[in-house]
Structure 1
Amino acid sequence: KIKVGNSEITPRDFLVKVIPNPIEQANEMVGKGCAGTWVTGTKDGMRRSVYLYQVADNRECVSKYGTNSVVAQTAVGPVIMMELIAKGIWDIKGVHGPESFDPDPFVERLKKYEFPAGIREMDSEYSDHINEKKFLDALR
């Protein structure tokens, strides 16, 4: 507790009184949220770095799913994973991390579930190679 004037309060109790309840506010938010992952690795023997992302409009998610965009974006991934496992598309025995599975069927289903993904090439040997190839092809 901290002393404020003649009273003692906890900082948490103070914040609860002055900050709006995030659960109540979430469904009223206007705007879009971006959920993404920055992935690094190698492709064709070159270092590659990409940002995979998905953008969702909060009001649309509240209207369609009854929940805000953060909850909807968080829920769609496991739903797609369950579909891929149930249909035998992802069929690897044992315990594996997400990087063990083919990402293409997952990314394709994001669009089907109305959560299309985007990809942004970041600076890397691979992106330099692709950009140089495009440039040289344009000169031909």
Structure 2
Amino acid sequence: MKSTVFEVATGHSEVVYDITPQCAQFAREAGGDGLLHVFVPHATAGIAVLELGAGSDNDLLAALRDLLPADDRWRHAHGSRGHGRSHVMPALIPPYATIPVIGGALTLGTWQSVALVDLNVDNPDRQVRLSFLTSA
């Protein structure tokens, strides 16, 4: 198994951050056929495969705001107001995704991208682990 970690500066606002270029480069360098496993080792972030740039990223953030309001209802209550919602989000958007790779290329659909989803405005820096698994 080949594996690497890269850093993402998400800043201090909710974000859907496109990590497709990093995933594609790692798959190219790994070469061959296999599975790319994308994992974010944080309790308050997730990985999503979705269309980006046509408004879907903002729609996702709006839906998460509706489902997980940044208010005082959360028992996990340290940090910024509503911080507990960030700890619930990975149950909806898991901290991982697995993408098939054929000939060193991601087999995403035409409009699909790989994104880091982060609602935690208290932690501006994230790590993403990419692992390439082959049967050989």
TM-score, normalised via structure 2 length: 0.27
Higher strand share: 2
Higher helix share: 1
Higher relative contact order (CA 8 A, sep 6+): 2
TM-score, normalised via structure 1 length: 0.27
